[in-house]
């Protein structure tokens, strides 16, 4: 019997704003300061919501958004702020 596997896509499982926020929080904890990792997590959330609409809401081109959130580069912090706002997420700090 042959076993087949399909590629897991977290974006298919992020259905609610609460799930998206919890996913991003978990990624912050696991990132170890890797900004590209966080950008990729934001990309996953943007794909779950619809990349075209997120790009429009953020005032960015769709292509630029894909590149910025690919995880292959570190986007400008201003891009991160625009995207989090477009996603309906708010960044906050907490003392550790």
pLDDT of residue 57: 96
Domain boundaries of the chain, sorted by first residue: 16-86
Closest CA to 23 of 41, 47, 3: 41
Task: Report the chain's C-alpha Rg in angstroms.
Answer: 14
pTM score, whole prediction: 0.89
Q: How many CA atoms lie within 13 A of 53 on its CB side?
A: 8
Q: Which of 4, 51, 43 minimizes the C-alpha distance to 20?
A: 43
Residue stretches of the chain with pLDDT short of 50: none
46-73 per-position pLDDT tens digit: 999 999 999 999 999 999 999 999 999 8
């Amino acid at each position: 019997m042959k076993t087949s596997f399909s590629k897991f896509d977290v974006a298919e499982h992020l259905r609610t704003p609460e799930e998206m926020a919890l996913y991003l929080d978990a990624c912050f904890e696991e990132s170890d300061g890797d900004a590209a990792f966080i950008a990729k997590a934001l990309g996953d959330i943007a794909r779950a919501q619809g990349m075209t609409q997120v790009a429009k809401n953020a005032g960015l081109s769709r292509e630029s958004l894909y590149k910025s959130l690919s995880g292959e580069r570190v986007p400008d912090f201003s891009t991160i702020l625009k995207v989090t706002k477009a996603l309906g997420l708010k960044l906050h700090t907490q003392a550790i």
